[in-house]
Structure 1
């Protein structure tokens, strides 16, 4: 199915607008992360998965009031607890998180503290037995492993594209994915949203999704290079992007609508996960066109300025 026929958009002619857009959001995210780092010692707010703490699910007989629950918990001596709606409002469930400032020995007692605090103000609240307890030590280990998982995925993709195409293709794709990750995490800092393991899972999903989108464009560039070696590279890249535009809009557009529905109706627990997907899919699709592909042209221009062959090396033929 092809949505667009005979598209002739000069993508490379708009590279300075793309660069300005990327710089605005990248720099804004970095500044926001720096402000968070100065304030809380972390570039983004961390969820219980990383900073440690206790999460308890509570079901009420009547529709709960967040402010009243927070007051009841504070009256029991539990300070800085976070109270959010869990699932659909009709389920009358709340998710109560205790801060990481509690020591590991006291974390397991958090569930009993919450249960006692609520029992004094509500009629038989049902406290889930599946309370999530994460100590600070475990949280720091998870934080380190999440960072390494993202780094290893980028290195693995660079190596794959090096052998599948050429090194410059791999470098351009990894720079684009790093750009996507930076802006997505920057949005979490800008909007003061917590980073959790589910968000890391979303980011790793986006790394693969963005890379796949970029590879589709690169593969078309490679094929056109074989057929039109004398064509100006900027024109060839523009033509390659336009030829894959229908596929990009269909796949990215449908995926975006799905995650947007998840963001709007998925509830508080999936909010961070779906937010990362919404931002990441938009930025990932954009970077395949506006970041990765122009880097190939910039590479050729650099070679030409050094008096070297001004032809981008085509990828190796598949066997």
Structure 2
């Protein structure tokens, strides 16, 4: 089997990765994230139908009534519908939405609840979500440093930060809604990418101790080739599930599936070209991974 020289183009792809991250950061500053109702606040209307209705028909009725950006989902049962609107709540909003829904169906529709969702909750969610991601990265760094070696922990965290910035940058650039499901997907991306990076790191450590010939670049290349099949199969099977969720899972998890698809692709790339590249930049060597020699005990002479 031919050995792929992954590290032969590492400088070129390092420049590519840096450009992607800088572009993502620039997009976040210019376009910012399009926070959804979970973060910005707005109005919430819940209604009950006498029989189940297609969500597409409900969205069409609301769009014709002047609510094209309404988020529609079921809750509890197929006949219970939740409508979320990114606008200020008024005393008559519930009745206006109810009238629009009744005009689009022959089924009976009754109003269950109409209330305001405060933006203060969204502000707390943004802060807690950001702190959660930072805490996850810090725990990852400690875990990898304890299990492998400090240089591996730096490579893992750089790869994870690379993945998170790119996912956020794509959402910012395309102006996709960023809600709680997308935040959950980003945390899942951290877990997925970390798992892939740990598998690669474990093989690199094993080969540094086992292979007697070859410099650091050759050993890392051999390790990446040995784990390539596993990495690609895991990514492909995960992507198949995510494609199914994206196309058949409904509007509410489009953002979740999109973020994970981007994250899986970028995470697969970063476990090969970012984490391993950082190890070479930090001059990883066989001496860094050799177990410490045990000191021989000398019996006291009488």
Tell me which interval the TM-score lies in, with the shorter structure as reference length. Answer: 0.7 to 0.9
Counterparts of 2:122 and 2:215, CA distance in 1: 52
The two structures have a TM-score, normalised by structure 2, of: 0.82
Distance 1:139 1:216, change over 3 A: same
Counterparts of 1:315 and 1:284, CA distance in 2: 28
Q: 2:136: which partner in 1?
A: 153
Higher strand fraction: Structure 1 or Structure 2? 2
1: CA distance between counterparts of 2:185 and 2:291? 32
For the 8 Å contact 2:61–2:104, the answer to whether it is kept is no
Distance 1:127 1:31, change over 3 A: farther
Which of residues 9, 13, 21 is equivalent to 1:18?
Answer: 13
Match of 2:70, SS state, is strand
Specify whether residues 138 and 233 from structure 1 end up closer, same or farther in structure 2 by C-alpha distance, changes over 3 A only.
Answer: same
Q: Which residue does the alignment assign to 1:241? A: 224
The 5-angstrom pairing of residues 203-222 of structure 1 reads 203-222=186-205
Q: How does 1:44-193 map to 2 (within 5 A)?
A: 44-56=33-45, 64=57, 66=59, 69-73=62-66, 82-83=69-70, 86=73, 96-99=83-86, 102=88, 106=89, 110-119=93-102, 123=106, 126=109, 129=112, 134-193=117-176
Aligned length: 285
The alignment partner of 1:254 has SS state of helix
CA gap of 1:312–1:145, structure 2 versus 1, over 3 A, is farther
* Helix, strand or coil at the partner of 1:205: helix
Q: Is the 8 A contact 1:165 1:315 kept in 2?
A: no
Report the CA distance between 1:83 and its aligned residue.
2.8
Structure 2's unaligned 5+ residue stretches are 293-302
CA distance in structure 2 between the partners assigned to 1:205 and 1:99 by the alignment: 27
Give the Cα–Cα distance (whole angstroms) in 1 for the partners of residues 190 and 196 of structure 2. 10
1:218, CA displacement in angstroms? 0.5
Pair 1:31 & 2:26 matched: yes
Task: Output the CA distance in 1 between the equivalents of 2:72 and 2:196.
Answer: 36
Aligned residue number for residue 78 of structure 1: none
Closer, same or farther: CA 243–54 of 1 in aligned 2, 3 Å: same
Tell me how far apart the structure 2 counterparts of residues 266 and 312 of structure 1 sit (CA, whole Å).
Answer: 50
Please say which structure displays the higher CA radius of gyration.
Answer: 2
CA deviations on 1:117-149 (whole Å, 9 max, x unpaired) are 544676556367477853111111111111111
Mark the CA change 1:142 to 1:206 in structure 2 (over 3 Å): closer, same or farther. Answer: same
Q: Deviations over 1:77-98 (max 9, x none)?
A: xxxx6135658xxx89986432
Q: Deviations over 1:137-187 (max 9, x none)?
A: 111111111111111111001011111111111011001000000001111
Per the alignment, residue 282 of structure 2 pairs with 299
The aligned residue for residue 296 of structure 2 is none
Q: Distance in 1 between matches of 2:191 and 2:290?
A: 21
CA RMSD of aligned residues (A): 3.0
CA contact (8 A) 2:70 2:86 kept: no
| Structure 1 unmatched ranges of 5 or more | 1-5, 37-42, 75-80, 302-309
Contact 1:56/1:127 (<8 A) preserved: no
Contact in 2 for aligned 1:180/1:284 (Cα 8 Å): yes
| Alignment CA distance shift 1:202-1:61 (3 Å) | closer
Q: Distance in 1 between matches of 2:182 and 2:85?
A: 20
TM-score (norm 1): 0.78
